[in-house]
Amino acid sequence: MSALFETYSRWPVKVIRGQGNYLWDVEEKKYLDFTSGIGVTNLGHQPPSVKKAVEKQLEQLWHCSNLFHIPIQEKLAEKLTEISGCDKVFFCNSGAEANEAAIKLARKYAQSVLQLDRYEVITFTQSFHGRTMATLTATGQDKVKLGFSPLLPGIVTIPYNDLSAFEAAVNDRTCAVLLEVIQGEGGVNPAEKEWLQQVTAICKEKEILLMVDEIQTGMGRTGTWFAYQQYGIEPDVVTVAKGLGSGFPIGAMMAKKKTSEAFGPGSHGSTFGGNPLAVSAALATVRTIEEEGILLQVKQKGFLIQEKLRNAFSANDKIEKIKGLGLMIGIQLKEDSALYITKAREKGLLALAAGPQVIRLLPPFTVTEEEINQAVGILQGALNQ
């Protein structure tokens, strides 16, 4: 019997090695990895540029308290503000921590800077924001909340892409809105552009912070650095994690300058946030994406996969639609997806669920056309059985 808590429904695969776009199990079976560690190993497993940067950092400094100035942190923060349009960065270790920091910042900004008695954060059904008490409360899926009552007060969850519901929810207690531009765990559900722009306008008018969770969509997954950049909006707060460090645990909460007074000395912290090893991996990841023109490749490969999937399944009545953006793709089925994900894995392709009826594909940005053809062929075989 395992000494681990059984908090995960684990697949019957024991992984021991990863290289490029593939994983190998203990029996040396090879898998094409279209999960990317749930959107983490976006440059593939062990990308050379990131490996080199971490090896160099290993010879210099592993950990340093945030009581000191750490130059490599400053470099990464400057890069993140440059690509996001934000002004300030707080480093942490995960997406949940980044969203937790955002919720804290929103309340502190409203109460300490605006001097208003605001504390409510609006979130949306089918969202996923993390597993801490604040972020599971913010998540719009009841399954993550069972057994954890009482939940954090001041979180209001309403239907996604519903303007009238949003207008009704906003009141003089609202301090922020937290949303995903494309919901990942909830089913690869894109926001409607007009709805998101109207939400943004209302937030600006009423001095409500617009906070965008880019944990899964950020760092190039949709073909731009952040998914919101394809919607013509400018959020006040942006959270990132997963793909930031190529597998090293790092998250970041980024925000506009107007919020900086709310997060002064002693207001928030993290022992391991901005760890030099993780930061070196993140900085190398960002530079690689930028220097190798990977964002354009993500757009092109995403279009190619969706085109091939639509062609492959044009006559398959199990498929409702193909959706997504860039290399974040959902195959919406008319029935449960679990069986087909299992069949694909048995044939050497790793894919994810996103809700009960969606097969989620998160291929590495380095995926080749040959591998795309291989994946589509495996999915076609699994779904045609």
For residue 305, what is the domain's CATH number?
3.90.1150.10
In the prediction, which pLDDT does 384 show? 86
- Whether residues 81 and 168 fall in one domain: yes
Residue after which a domain boundary falls, among 252, 267, 291: 291
100 shares its domain with 223: yes
Buried b (16+ CB within 10 A) or exposed e, 238-253: bbbbbbbbbbbbbbbb
- 292 Cβ contact partners less than 8 Å away, ≥ 6 residues apart: none
Question: What pLDDT does residue 277 have?
Answer: 98
User: Average pLDDT of 83-97?
Assistant: 98
Residues present in the chain in total: 385
385 pLDDT above the threshold of 80: no
What backbone torsions phi and psi does residue 359 show, to the nearest 5 degrees?
-90, 120
Is the confidence at residue 354, as pLDDT, over 90? yes
Q: Indicate if 225 and 356 belong to the same structural domain.
A: no
Q: What is the pLDDT of residues 12-67, one digit of tens each?
A: 999 999 999 999 999 999 999 999 999 999 999 999 999 999 999 999 999 999 99
What is the mean pLDDT of the segment spanning 351-368?
A: 97
Same domain, 197 and 166: yes
Mean pLDDT of the chain: 97
> Stretch 206-210: mean pLDDT, rounded?
98
Q: Nearest CA to 352 among 34, 13, 24?
A: 34
Contact 97, 270 (CB under 8 A): yes
Same domain, 171 and 226: yes
Mean pLDDT, residues 336-360: 97
Residues 219 and 365 in one domain: no
CA distances from 58 to 52, 247, 264, 277 (A): 10, 16, 31, 7
279 and 306 fall within a common domain = no
Domain boundary among 259, 291, 323: 291
Task: For residue 63, give the CATH number of its domain.
Answer: 3.40.640.10
Q: Is residue 163 part of a domain?
A: yes
pLDDT digits (tens, 9 = 90+) for 229-247: 999 999 999 999 999 999 9
For the stretch 291-315, pLDDT in tens is: 999 999 999 999 999 999 999 999 9
| pLDDT at residue 282, rounded to an integer | 98
Q: What is the pLDDT of residues 248-269, one digit of tens each?
A: 999 999 999 999 999 999 999 9
299 and 287, same structural domain? no
> In whole angstroms, what is the distance from residue 133 CA to residue 155 CA?
11
Pairing state of beta strands 30-33 and 349-350? parallel
Q: How far apart are CA 37 and CA 85, in angstroms?
A: 27
Residue 75, judged by CB atoms within 10 A of its CB (0-12, 13-18, 19+), counts as middle
Report helix, strand or coil for 277: helix
Residue 3 lies in a domain: no
The residue behind tokens 């995403």 is: 302
Residue 213: φ, ψ to 5°: -85, 105
Domain final residue, candidates 291, 306, 331: 291
Can you give the pLDDT at residue 86?
98
Q: How many CB atoms lie within 10 A of CB 145?
A: 14
| 10 within some domain | no
Report the C-alpha gap between 73 and 50 in whole angstroms: 16
Query: What range does the domain containing 175 cover?
Result: 49-291
Q: Where do the H-state alpha helices sit in the chain?
A: 36-39, 48-58, 71-84, 95-108, 133-138, 163-169, 193-206, 276-291, 294-312, 338-346, 369-384
238 shares its domain with 254: yes
Q: How many domains does the chain have?
A: 2
Q: How far apart are CA 282 and CA 274, in angstroms?
A: 10
Q: Do 189 and 235 belong to one domain?
A: yes
Per-residue exposure over 187-208, b if at least 16 CB sit within 10 Å of its own CB, e if not: bbbbbeeeebeebbebbeeeeb
Q: How far apart are CA 100 and CA 103, in angstroms?
A: 5
Distances 140 to 124, 180, 183, 190 between C-alpha atoms, Å: 5, 11, 10, 15
Interval 180-204 mean pLDDT: 97
Q: Is residue 240 assigned to a domain?
A: yes
Does residue 192 sit in the same domain as residue 202?
yes
Query: Is the model's pTM score more than 0.75?
Result: yes
Q: Is residue 1 part of a domain?
A: no
At 11, the pLDDT band (50, 70, 90 cuts) reads: very high
Is 237 in the same domain as 349? no
Task: Please state, in angstroms and rounded to a whole number, the distance separating the CA atoms of residues 84 and 225.
Answer: 7
Give domain status of residue 323, yes or no.
Answer: yes
At residue 1, does pLDDT exceed 90?
Answer: no
